[in-house]
């Protein structure tokens, strides 16, 4: 029977072109149609949620797609939570975008693309086959590309869109190599549908036995490559800060709440493959995640662009989710709950933060430099209060939801350290994550101080005004959730994974992250509250310069790899190709020259013919003489 | 009989187009549309519930003593490619309405289509060869008469290259013919009889292995020239660039299918004869073509030339697929070969979309260089979107036809080539890079005001391009439409 759950992702996809056309004459219709379609998705997801939580039986339907690959939907507890989160947050962002994009002449296209994106994201979540998953994975990538370049006439946006596409494409193709290895190995042992997700997650131990844990590790690492591209983990994170050139609602939807968490979802989806691989695969996830959490945090501190601070913060928070998944080999499957809980909480507060940033940018006419803001709490009280709620959630101050979600991950890292033999190697993740917490506090409150407190530092900031309250209602809903989601912590964990272990660590360890947050606040109060930051000249400071250059990674990718390796290779081949073509032509004209020489012989003078005839006969006679034919 | 009726109708249409002076564009468009519709009806009638083998088998003996007969048979492979040729010809003839071409242009175009149909339905090597040759002549004339700068040289190059290929094809056919004749004392040119690996192994490979190599060399050479594959490709950029756009569409969409068709119609049935050394060579050649053409394309500023190289690069997948099909067994082999056949179809359709939207851009703005074009989204949003869609399909975006083919081949390839797969992926990354790069330069960015005010495509053009795009989309989302019958065919051949 055809389940209505299919419509969760089909409705937004079908209504994407409809909303683009509906808004052809009256622009506002586009947004309304798109929002309604997503509201329908959300309602359907709620219905499926009740259906599943009562029966605890996953919905699984599939049909043959091509060859021995099928496609369909597989909805278990993990998938439905993600679908609820994505449809809800997307709905909120769409409602805010009705206000944010109201003056844009191409807003119908915008809403068509965001609706398509939402449908693609929901399809990704509900996929029952990894190749189908990959299809939606690329569809959301395409939407991200289109939406980052939505203001295509801005050279920065065009360039950022290209960069986002290519960098994530590198990750995607690593992912597809992983799929190829998995497919080849499983098909050769006669598995009927080798890439089906329910098959993979329920038979992971048998698969590991059949194809070898070693191969599974390689597959896991390649999947991690794909996840790192999509979820902007080190070293493929370079595209996200540039992607901030798109409309702010796009950043909120795609580059904060939903698409960038697809990589985390991928690894969570196939986590049994990781727990049955050798320890290298999950540890790689753990270390990449934990390192990124710290690394991106350090970059967040030196950015002056409001949206880029938030972008690095997103990278860093996704690092926490990844790190949590990587602990699976030691802590067990409970880590999915930890990770997805943080994912949901993060989606809520980061969407909130981005949308408040959007409201501020509208009021400040797209001025994004935080050094020229200041004093906005007085000018835009409602917006900045919402931002304050988002900020304390980001910094994980109790009793906000992130305090519960993030500190559990940090504590779990400590448990990982204890349980895996308490050596110097296994303590690193915990250290990274704790430093990450300090960084989070530093960049969050630096940002908040520069935006909201002090005196306005530009004419624009002095004139700023709150947007109409009605536009801020979606933000208020998200702010409410940021403050209250902490209540459902353990029910949530148990919903995702029954009998989740209780993370318990010594009290001193438990309060370490919070201490870090307080230290961060004090440092910011000391540096910024006293006005010291205006007198500091960091331009000579070597550490500051490295940070400003983003650890020279962009330099490495664009200037070294792209411009010094690929482009010369390309120009060399192109030159070779031209030379090659010329040589061929030279051969051709050589042949023609020979032809025209022959033509000269045929000149119509009988004597010549006679001479040639004689010579010819003589040559034949000579040959026959030598070979003894005569 | 249905397919022969279509074929005869094509002969009639080709003659008509040469004859009728007035509104030749309209008539030719309607004719090609009618052929397309008839082909689709034929496909639906004969190929629903297809279970292998040849449909519409028919044979008319001409000279029994040397086995010449007009033998017809349509496999799923031919059917997919008949559909492709019909679509491409319709698109090419339709968009040519932008320029004023005379009646002989349309006559030649329909003659090309006639040649393609003849090639795809013939099951007799004589007719196979005749149509193979017959396609070259109208294309040569189309390039040399209607082409742009350097048309004579380009046409000559095209002609000489493909002629050399044809000579080898003929030699291989004759070799098969004479060996079969001596062995069985019956002369035949029937493809199904000659392309029988047990016959070749028994009467050629075992007594005289040299002639097997000779035979395979001839086939490979002529098919690789048509594909084109490195290093036999030097006719390609000039021919694509100098040809008028409608002919470029035909070259990229329909003429390129000949090499692939040869691969799967002639070489696949005799796959057991092909040694693993040759199969490896083919795979390496395919991968090298993919990477090499992608890197060369990256450095082009003329978008038509760039897409010509992109077209050649994606044909590399077909070589890879045949090689993998030979070297593996079971489902892996089926998937690889089906992917290769699907790639011919997908590639043709995608190139049709790319070149026809590029044609409209060039015709409106007067430029096809990504140095002068900039911000076209502003002035020509719809055609730019079609171009973008073509670019995305060409780089293998999932949801569009090219992905199904590339995914099949890549998924199957690991079994055979192991970590060499990274080179394929490297090629695909380069492909993605320059495709997106050229979009950034031509469609995005601030509009180049020197181009003046441009008009977007007409309603008819938008409708036709939408039709093409929807085919690509449907094949990407629901590939079974063709994939299933191709898979059945491949299972039957192996």
- Per-residue pLDDT tens over the stretch B268-317: 888 888 888 889 999 999 999 999 999 988 888 889 989 999 999 999 99
Task: Render the burial of A67-90: b for 16+ CB within 10 Å, e for the rest.
Answer: bbbbbbbbbbbbbbbbbbbbbbbb
Give Cα B310 to chain centroid, integer Å.
13
CA distances in angstroms from A66 to A132, A183, B339, B483, listed in the order given: 11, 14, 10, 6
Chain A residues in contact with B445 by the CB 8 A cut-off are 152-153, 155, 158
> B330 to chain A: nearest residue by CA?
A188
Asked if A91 and A477 count as a contact pair (C-beta separation under 8 A), the reply is no
DSSP-derived secondary structure for A31-45: HHHHHHHHHHHHHHH
Task: Render the burial of A482-518: b for 16+ CB within 10 Å, e for the rest.
Answer: bbebbeebeebbebbbeebbebebeeebeebbbebbe
Place of tokens 């074009």: B373
Residue B66: how many CB atoms within 10 A of its CB?
12
Question: B26 burial class (0-12, 13-18, 19+ CB within 10 angstroms)?
Answer: exposed
Asked if B425 lies within 8 A of A588 by C-beta distance, the reply is no
Which among B360, B396, B408, B410 is positioned nearest to B381, based on CA atoms?
Answer: B360
What is the crossing angle of helices A77-100 and A107-126, to 10°? 170
Residues 6+ apart with CB under 8 A from B132: B119, B166, B169, B258
Question: A248 burial class (0-12, 13-18, 19+ CB within 10 angstroms)?
Answer: buried
Q: How far apart are CA A159 and CA A168, in angstroms?
A: 14
Which tens digit of pLDDT belongs to each residue from B368-379?
888 888 888 888
Of B399, B413, B414, the CB nearest to A135: B399
Q: How far apart are the first and last CA of chain B?
A: 28
Asked if A137 lies within 8 A of B421 by C-beta distance, the reply is no
A contact test, residue of B333, B405, B436 with most A CBs within 10 A: B436
Asked if A63 and A70 count as a contact pair (C-beta separation under 8 A), the reply is yes
**Segment B164-173 mean pLDDT:** 87
> B392 to chain A: nearest residue by CA?
A142
A571 touches B: beta carbon within 8 Å = yes
Extended beta strands in A270-317, E state: none
B contact test, residue of A173, A561, A563, A586 with most B CBs within 10 A: A173
* Interface list for B 212-271 with A (CB within 8 A): 231, 234, 237-238
Of A67, A169, A188, the CB nearest to B338: A67
Which tens digit of pLDDT belongs to each residue from A79-108?
999 999 999 999 999 999 988 888 888 888
Which tens digit of pLDDT belongs to each residue from A12-71?
999 998 988 888 888 888 889 999 999 999 999 999 998 888 777 888 888 888 888 888
Percent share of chain A, pLDDT over 70: 94
Asked if B473 and B404 count as a contact pair (C-beta separation under 8 A), the reply is no
pLDDT of residue B416: 87
pLDDT: is B208 or A79 the higher one? A79
Q: How far apart are CA A232 and CA A229, in angstroms?
A: 5
Tell me, what's the ipTM?
0.91
Question: Omega into A235 within 30° of 0, i.e. cis?
Answer: yes
Question: B197 burial class (0-12, 13-18, 19+ CB within 10 angstroms)?
Answer: middle
B47 touches A: beta carbon within 8 Å = no
A458 touches B: beta carbon within 8 Å = no
Give Cα A46 to chain centroid, integer Å.
26
Of B234, B332, B375, the CB nearest to A584: B234
Q: How far apart are CA B359 and CA B362, in angstroms?
A: 5
A570 touches B: beta carbon within 8 Å = yes
**Segment B103-130 mean pLDDT:** 89
Which tens digit of pLDDT belongs to each residue from A123-179?
999 999 999 999 999 999 999 999 998 988 888 888 888 888 888 888 898 999 999
Residues 6+ apart with CB under 8 A from A573: B292, B295, B296, B299
- Nearest CA to CA, how far is B374 from chain A (Å)? 9
Chain B residues in contact with A165 by the CB 8 A cut-off are 432, 436
Residues 6+ apart with CB under 8 A from A248: A100, A307, A354, A355, A357, A358, A361
B contact test, residue of A64, A180, A226, A578 with most B CBs within 10 A: A180
Of A180, A585, A588, the CB nearest to B411: A180
Chain B residues in contact with A137 by the CB 8 A cut-off are 398
CA distances in angstroms from A154 to A150, A239, B122, B377, B441, listed in the order given: 9, 17, 55, 12, 12
pTM, entire model = 0.91
Which among A388, A234, A242, A233 is positioned nearest to A303, based on CA atoms?
Answer: A242
Q: How far apart are CA B429 and CA A135, in angstroms?
A: 17
* Interface list for A 572-601 with B (CB within 8 A): 573-574, 577, 580-581, 584-585, 588
Which tens digit of pLDDT belongs to each residue from A282-311?
999 999 999 999 999 888 888 888 889 999
**Segment A331-354 mean pLDDT:** 90
Asked if A433 and A348 count as a contact pair (C-beta separation under 8 A), the reply is no
What backbone phi and psi angles, to 5 degrees, belong to A192?
-75, -40
A150 touches B: beta carbon within 8 Å = no
What does R_g of chain A's alpha carbons equal in angstroms?
31
Chain B residues in contact with A149 by the CB 8 A cut-off are 440, 444
Task: Render the burial of A401-438: b for 16+ CB within 10 Å, e for the rest.
Answer: bbbbbbbbbbbbbbbbbeebeeeeebbbbbebbbbbbb
* Interface list for A 151-180 with B (CB within 8 A): 152-153, 155, 157-159, 161-162, 165-166, 169-170, 173-174, 176-177, 179-180
Q: How far apart are CA A111 and CA A117, in angstroms?
A: 9
Domain borders along chain B are 1-269, 275-494
User: Could you tell me which residues are beta bridge partners of residue A66?
Assistant: A69
B298 touches A: beta carbon within 8 Å = yes
A16 touches B: beta carbon within 8 Å = no
B443 touches A: beta carbon within 8 Å = yes
Asked if A170 lies within 8 A of B422 by C-beta distance, the reply is no
Q: How far apart are CA A187 and CA A208, in angstroms?
A: 14
Place of tokens 């009705």: A98
Lowest mean pLDDT among A365-379, A537-551, B159-173: A537-551
Percent share of chain B, pLDDT over 90: 26
Q: How far apart are CA B77 and CA B262, in angstroms?
A: 11
Which tens digit of pLDDT belongs to each residue from A245-287?
888 899 889 888 888 999 999 999 999 889 888 888 999 999 9
Q: How far apart are the first and last CA of chain A?
A: 92
Asked if A581 lies within 8 A of B234 by C-beta distance, the reply is yes
pLDDT of residue A178: 92
Question: Omega into B228 within 30° of 0, i.e. cis?
Answer: yes
> A192 to chain B: nearest residue by CA?
B331
Q: Which two tokens stand for residue B73?
A: 């048979």
Size of interface A-B (CB pairs under 8 A): 150
Q: How far apart are CA B346 and CA B406, in angstroms?
A: 10
């Amino acid at each position: 029977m055809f389940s209505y759950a299919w419509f969760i992702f089909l409705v937004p996809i079908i209504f994407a072109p409809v909303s683009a056309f509906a808004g052809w004459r009256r622009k506002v219709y586009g947004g309304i149609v798109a929002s309604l379609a997503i509201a329908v998705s959300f309602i359907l997801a709620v219905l499926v949620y009740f259906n599943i939580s009562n029966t605890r039986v996953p919905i699984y339907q599939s049909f043959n797609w091509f060859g021995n690959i099928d496609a369909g939907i597989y909805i278990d507890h993990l998938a439905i939570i993600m679908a609820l989160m994505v449809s809800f947050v997307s709905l909120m962002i769409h409602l805010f975008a009705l206000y944010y994009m109201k003056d844009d002449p191409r807003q119908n296209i915008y809403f068509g693309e965001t609706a398509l994106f939402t449908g693609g994201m929901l399809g990704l979540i509900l996929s029952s086959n990894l190749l189908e998953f990959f299809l939606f994975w690329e569809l959301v990538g395409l939407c991200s590309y289109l939406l980052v370049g939505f203001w295509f006439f801005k050279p920065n946006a065009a360039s950022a869109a290209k960069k986002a596409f290519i960098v994530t494409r590198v990750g995607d193709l690593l992912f597809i190599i992983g799929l190829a290895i998995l497919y080849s190995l499983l098909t050769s042992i006669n598995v009927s549908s080798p890439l089906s997700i329910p098959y993979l997650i329920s038979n992971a131990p048998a698969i590991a036995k059949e194809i070898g844990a070693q191969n599974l590790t390689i597959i896991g690492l390649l999947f991690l490559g794909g996840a790192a591209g999509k979820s902007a983990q080190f070293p493929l994170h370079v595209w996200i800060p540039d992607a901030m050139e798109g409309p702010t609602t796009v950043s909120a939807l795609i580059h904060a709440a939903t698409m960038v968490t697809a990589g985390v979802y991928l690894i969570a989806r196939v986590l049994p493959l990781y727990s049955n691989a050798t320890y290298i695969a999950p540890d790689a996830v753990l270390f990449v995640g934990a390192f990124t959490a710290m690394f991106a945090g350090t970059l967040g501190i030196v950015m002056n662009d409001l949206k880029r601070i938030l972008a690095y913060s997103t990278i860093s928070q996704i690092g926490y989710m990844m790190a949590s998944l990587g602990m699976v080999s030691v802590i067990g499957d409970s880590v999915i709950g930890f990770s997805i809980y943080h994912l949901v909480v993060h989606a809520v507060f980061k969407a909130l933060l981005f949308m408040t940033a959007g409201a501020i940018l509208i009021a400040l006419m797209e001025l994004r430099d935080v050094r020229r803001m200041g004093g906005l709490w007085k000018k835009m009280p409602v917006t900045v209060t919402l931002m304050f709620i988002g900020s304390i959630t980001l910094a994980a101050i109790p009793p906000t939801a992130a305090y519960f979600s993030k500190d559990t991950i940090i504590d779990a890292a400590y448990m990982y350290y204890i349980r895996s033999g308490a050596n110097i190697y296994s303590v690193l993740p915990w250290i990274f994550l704790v430093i990450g917490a300090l960084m989070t506090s530093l960049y969050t409150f630096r940002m908040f101080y520069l935006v909201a407190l002090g005196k306005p530092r530009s004419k624009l900031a002095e004139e700023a005004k709150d947007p109409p309250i009605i536009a801020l209602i979606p933000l208020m809903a998200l702010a409410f959730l940021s403050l209250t989601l902490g209540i459902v912590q353990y029910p949530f964990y148990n919903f995702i994974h029954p009998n989740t272990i209780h993370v318990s660590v010594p009290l001193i360890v438990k309060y370490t992250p919070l201490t870090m947050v307080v230290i961060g606040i004090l440092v910011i109060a000391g540096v910024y509250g006293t006005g010291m930051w205006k007198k500091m000249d960091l331009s000579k400071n070597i550490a500051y310069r490295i940070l400003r250059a983003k650890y020279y990674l962009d330099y490495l990718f664009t200037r070294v790899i792209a411009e010094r390796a690929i482009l010369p290779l390309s120009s060399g081949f192109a030159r070779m190709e031209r030379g090659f073509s010329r040589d061929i032509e030279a051969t051709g004209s050589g042949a023609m020259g020979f032809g025209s020489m022959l033509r000269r012989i045929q000149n119509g003078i009988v004597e010549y013919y006679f001479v040639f005839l004689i010579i010819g006969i003589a040559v034949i006679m000579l040959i026959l003489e030598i070979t003894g034919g005569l | 009989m249905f397919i022969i009726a279509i074929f005869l109708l094509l002969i009639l249409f080709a003659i008509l187009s040469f004859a009728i002076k007035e509104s030749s564009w309209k008539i030719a468009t309607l004719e090609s549309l009618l052929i397309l519709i008839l082909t689709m009806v034929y496909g639906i009638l004969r190929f629903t519930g297809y279970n292998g083998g040849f449909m519409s088998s028919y044979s008319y003996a001409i000279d029994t003593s040397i086995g010449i007969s007009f033998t017809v048979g349509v496999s799923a492979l031919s059917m997919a490619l008949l559909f492709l040729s019909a679509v491409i010809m319709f698109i090419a003839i339709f968009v040519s309405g932008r320029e004023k071409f005379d009646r002989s242009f349309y006559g030649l175009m329909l003659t090309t289509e006639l040649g393609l149909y003849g090639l795809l339905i013939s099951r007799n090597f004589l007719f196979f060869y005749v149509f193979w040759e017959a396609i070259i002549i109208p294309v040569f004339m189309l390039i040399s008469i209607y082409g742009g700068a350097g048309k004579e040289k380009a046409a000559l190059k095209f002609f000489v290259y493909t002629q050399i290929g044809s000579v080898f094809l003929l030699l291989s056919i004759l070799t098969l013919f004479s060996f079969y004749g001596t062995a069985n004392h019956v002369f035949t040119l029937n493809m199904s009889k000659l392309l029988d690996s047990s016959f070749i192994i028994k009467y050629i490979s075992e007594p005289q292995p040299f002639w097997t190599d000779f035979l395979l060399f001839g086939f490979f050479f002529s098919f690789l020239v048509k594909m084109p594959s490195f290093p036999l490709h030097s006719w390609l950029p000039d021919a694509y660039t100098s040809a008028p756009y409608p002919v470029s569409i035909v070259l990229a969409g329909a003429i390129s299918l000949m090499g692939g068709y040869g691969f799967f119609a002639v070489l696949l049935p005799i796959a057991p004869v092909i040694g693993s050394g040759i199969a490896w060579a083919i795979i390496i050649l395919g991968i090298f073509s993919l990477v090499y053409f992608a890197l060369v394309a990256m450095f082009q500023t003329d978008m038509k030339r760039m897409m010509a190289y992109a077209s050649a690069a994606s044909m590399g997948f077909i070589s890879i697929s045949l090689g993998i099909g030979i070297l593996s067994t079971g489902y892996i082999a089926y998937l690889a070969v089906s992917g290769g056949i699907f790639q011919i179809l997908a590639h043709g359709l995608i190139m049709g979309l790319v070149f026809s939207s590029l044609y409209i851009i060039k015709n409106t703005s007067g430029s096809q260089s990504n140095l002068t074009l900039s911000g076209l989204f502003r002035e020509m949003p719809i055609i730019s979107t079609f171009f973008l869609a073509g670019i995305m399909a060409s780089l293998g975006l999932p949801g569009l036809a090219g992905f199904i083919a590339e995914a099949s081949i890549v998924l199957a390839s690991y079994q055979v080539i192991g970590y060499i797969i990274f080179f394929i992926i490297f090629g695909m990354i380069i492909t993605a890079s320059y495709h997106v790069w050229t979009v950034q330069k031509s469609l995005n960015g601030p509009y180049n005001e020197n181009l003046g005010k441009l008009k977007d495509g007409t309603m008819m053009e938008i409708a036709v391009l939408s039709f093409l795009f929807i085919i690509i989309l449907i094949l990407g989302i629901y590939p079974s439409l063709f994939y299933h019958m191709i898979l059945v065919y491949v299972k039957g051949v192996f």
